[in-house]
Structure 1
Amino acid sequence: MTNTETKPQKRRLASLDALRGMDMFWILGGEKIFAALFILTGWTGWQVAHGQTLHSNWHGFTFYDLIFPLFIFLAGVAMGLSPKRIDHLPFQERRVYYAKALKRLFLLAGFGVLYNHGWGTGIPFNLEEIRYASVLGRIAIAWFVCVMLVWHTSLRTQIITAVSLLIGYWLLLCFVPVPGGQAGDLTMAGTWNAWVDQHLLPGITYQNRATDPEGLLSNVPAVVNALMGVFAGRLIAKANQFGEWKTVSYLFGAGLTSLALGWAWNMVFPVNKDLWTSSFVLVTVGWSLIFLASFYAVVDLLNTQKYFYPFIIIGANSIVIYLASSLVQWEYVAQSVFGGLVNAGSEAWQPLLAVFALLAVQLLVLHWLYKRKILISV
């Protein structure tokens, strides 16, 4: 007689789609709003806000640096809402799970290469001129390693793994000498990341830098962003047991704690997105938890989904619109559809109207997909 496992019901959170959509909004054109508002009003506060929509040059942190790790974190949250162990199953039954996981891994990595060479330039014929490292590739790797841990290990092992990865990465970058270099050199060309990318990463790096911001070695700590998402998802899944508003307070408190630890670690191991330092992981996890707590409280507990509809439709088809942001010339489409309205405005208003037009054409496509229940995921 074969034992069957009762699968937990997967909980669908509107706040998860809304937060994912808010995250993607800034990639689709939202980051241009503040610069346009500065042109319109001349208020220097908009310039300060615009600075937060640019990546840090090296060490440091801006709001825009959060977009990528937040997406990885949310992939973990979705996993944590219905975690399951499959290591007790016969291999024949597990093969189906492994096949799906590998398919997702390679599809996302392949889409990442496609994204890198969007805008009609074409993927180079010479394989050595292709950039294989990508945002989607990192999401794929972090998700794949994380799901294997969730499927095969206990919560205790996952926590130990997360802590070990962060400490181990710090020890490697700060205390182990780089071949031909020295220990603790955190310049762009002097780190272990640069050495690994120059010797092991195929193809080219981003803008031919010594260190690729999505390079091989920095995939290791990125796994922790996904694992921390799993822990948050598991907590939300037990909200009925703890109390929903108490769950919000737990998430918010954990976020503040992670932020404090990350900025404390920053004093000896700087927050750095390109290196994806351990302190960067804690800072981004902290903000991710705070945003998750806020969206879970406002969108799900206060039942305000209708007010977040634009974000929800972005989040529901996030991979599709992310790929389209590279492969489709949305500015041309927006000019074709709304160009007359934009040009009718005064010179000061035109930049802001152009941003609204750019966002509008993308939201119209996403609305059409959502209403027809066409939700494409990998």
Structure 2
Amino acid sequence: MVSKKQRLASVDALRGFDMFWIIGGEALFLPLFALTGWSVFHFGHGQMQHTQWHGFSFYDLIFPLFIFLSGVTLGLANKSLRGLPVSDRAPVYRKAVKRLFLLILLGVVYNHGWGSGIPADLGEVRYASVLARIGFAWFFAAMIVWHCTLRTQSVIAVTILLGYWLLQTLFGNLTPEGSVNAWVDQHVLPGITYQNRAYDPEGVLSTIPAIANALGGVFAGRWLAHHSGDHKAILKGLFMAATVSLLAGFLWHWVYPVNKELWTSSFVLITCGCCLLLLGIFYLVVDVWHWKRFTYIFSVIGCNAILVYLGTSLVNWQYSSKSLFGGIAAALPQQAAGTFLIACGVILLQWLVLRFLYKRGIFISP
């Protein structure tokens, strides 16, 4: 729903940067640390692990960054359905609902469907998924954007953050079993939870604040569209907003911890701040400085992001990389060097497939 004129190369490149870590980038740090002994690679490896409960790491940003960028595209389009007749709205609604249910279905496929095989036991399906959350966050953000004024959108975003905070603190505690999220998922969420936990990290209640992540992207997208061509104003706004969001999230963390598993409101602020910071950096590098090679490498990945994500579950890229580069890896004097070569092969194979699609203008999206 975003015209070609409204697309920014920095947004596609940032989406590709986000997915780069999904397709194997996170596996590069450990062998690099073994080869060099440099502490920076050990630190990087630590940042490629999800935080177990309270706290934040870079890898915790991958998921909310994708949601944020889906909001950016909504903001760039700046589409409104207010005042339009039902006949004009209906096709847009159908497309939005179709996209939502397709992402839910693809999420089930990514989770490998039914644990008990066929005949299918619907009670053994994990319906909650990363793709489903992306679908719900985008869908509700789109409905808000299409039907509400900018002021109302801002009020809704603040209400979501404050309301979720009160809900979590008044009706439970921030523990895996004692959280209100666990109670809701046990009583409302159909099917099974992730690893049969008391809560699902992509469960019902924690999807609500993810809408605020998408709305944060909407506000950023509108800022980009409103100040189109004024690089100074765009960068100033993005970096100032990032600073405010990060500071607010950090201060809130002391009374309401940052927690990805529960997707706390403080986590929303921290991730939105990081997303704004990255968007500003990529806008500077890609749209202001025009580093085309940098743009191309990541844009190839970003233009087929959903396909990339599905491919990590459905294709054994590690096996393919070992089949092609295993002999060379085994001949290298250090095991870590072989491990690093295989990890690079995993990324290269996926990138070449995506480049094949990119060159032919094949972009697969729900």
Which category of TM-score, normalised to the shorter sequence, fits these structures? over 0.9
Cα offsets for 1:79-98 (capped at 9, x unmatched): 10011111211111111000
Q: Distance in 2 between matches of 1:122 and 1:55?
A: 30
Cα offsets for 1:306-365 (capped at 9, x unmatched): 223221100000001110110011111112222222223222311111111111110110
Structure 1 unaligned runs (5+)? 1-6, 178-182
Identify the residue that residue 92 of structure 1 maps to in structure 2. 87
Identify the residue that residue 292 of structure 1 maps to in structure 2. 279
State the secondary structure of the residue aligned to 1:215: coil
Matches within 5 A, 1:1-378: 10-117=5-112, 125-175=120-170, 177=171, 183=172, 185-240=173-228, 243-346=230-333, 347-378=335-366
Q: Distance in 1 between matches of 2:337 and 2:305?
A: 29
Q: Letter of the aligned partner of 2:344 in structure 1?
A: F
Give the RMSD, CA atoms, in angstroms.
1.8
Q: How many corresponding residue pairs? A: 364
Q: Distance in 1 between matches of 2:73 and 2:326?
A: 39
**Does the aligned pair in 1 maintain the 2:181–2:203 contact within 8 Å?**
yes
Q: Letter of the aligned partner of 2:288 in structure 1?
A: L
Cα offsets for 1:55-83 (capped at 9, x unmatched): 00000000000000000000000110011
Q: Letter of the aligned partner of 2:142 in structure 1?
A: V
State the secondary structure of the residue aligned to 2:100: helix
Cα offsets for 1:356-377 (capped at 9, x unmatched): 1111110110111111111111
Q: Distance in 2 between matches of 1:141 and 1:8?
A: 23
State the secondary structure of the residue aligned to 1:27: coil
Q: Distance in 2 between matches of 1:8 and 1:314?
A: 20
> Aligned pair in 2 of structure 1 residues 124, 53: CA closer, same or farther (>3 Å)?
farther
Higher mean C-alpha displacement, 108-117 vs 34-43:
34-43
Q: Residue 49 of structure 1: CA displacement?
A: 1.4
Q: Residue 121 of structure 1: CA displacement?
A: 9.5
State the secondary structure of the residue aligned to 1:56: coil
Cα offsets for 1:5-35 (capped at 9, x unmatched): xx98751111111100111111111001111
TM-score, normalisation: structure 1: 0.93
Q: Distance in 2 between matches of 1:43 and 1:303?
A: 32
**Does the aligned pair in 2 maintain the 1:245–1:297 contact within 8 Å?**
no
Higher mean C-alpha displacement, 246-255 vs 300-309:
300-309
> Aligned pair in 2 of structure 1 residues 124, 158: CA closer, same or farther (>3 Å)?
farther
Q: Distance in 2 between matches of 1:365 and 1:353?
A: 18
> Aligned pair in 2 of structure 1 residues 124, 205: CA closer, same or farther (>3 Å)?
farther
State the secondary structure of the residue aligned to 1:88: coil
Q: Residue 193 of structure 1: CA displacement?
A: 0.2
Q: Distance in 1 between matches of 2:238 and 2:162?
A: 23
Q: Residue 187 of structure 1: CA displacement?
A: 0.4
**Does the aligned pair in 1 maintain the 2:12–2:299 contact within 8 Å?**
yes
Cα offsets for 1:251-273 (capped at 9, x unmatched): 01100110000011111110000
Cα offsets for 1:210-238 (capped at 9, x unmatched): 11110000111100000010000000012
> Aligned pair in 2 of structure 1 residues 277, 123: CA closer, same or farther (>3 Å)?
farther
Q: Distance in 1 between matches of 2:117 and 2:276?
A: 38
**Does the aligned pair in 2 maintain the 1:116–1:134 contact within 8 Å?**
yes
Q: Distance in 1 between matches of 2:79 and 2:324?
A: 47
State the secondary structure of the residue aligned to 2:6: coil
**Does the aligned pair in 1 maintain the 2:235–2:284 contact within 8 Å?**
yes
Structure 2 unaligned runs (5+)? none
Q: Letter of the aligned partner of 2:305 in structure 1?
A: S
State the secondary structure of the residue aligned to 1:218: helix
Runs of 4+ in 1 over 4 A off after TM superposition: 7-10, 120-124
Q: Percent identity?
A: 55
Q: Distance in 1 between matches of 2:253 and 2:279?
A: 23
Q: Residue 203 of structure 1: CA displacement?
A: 0.8
Higher mean C-alpha displacement, 292-301 vs 123-132:
123-132
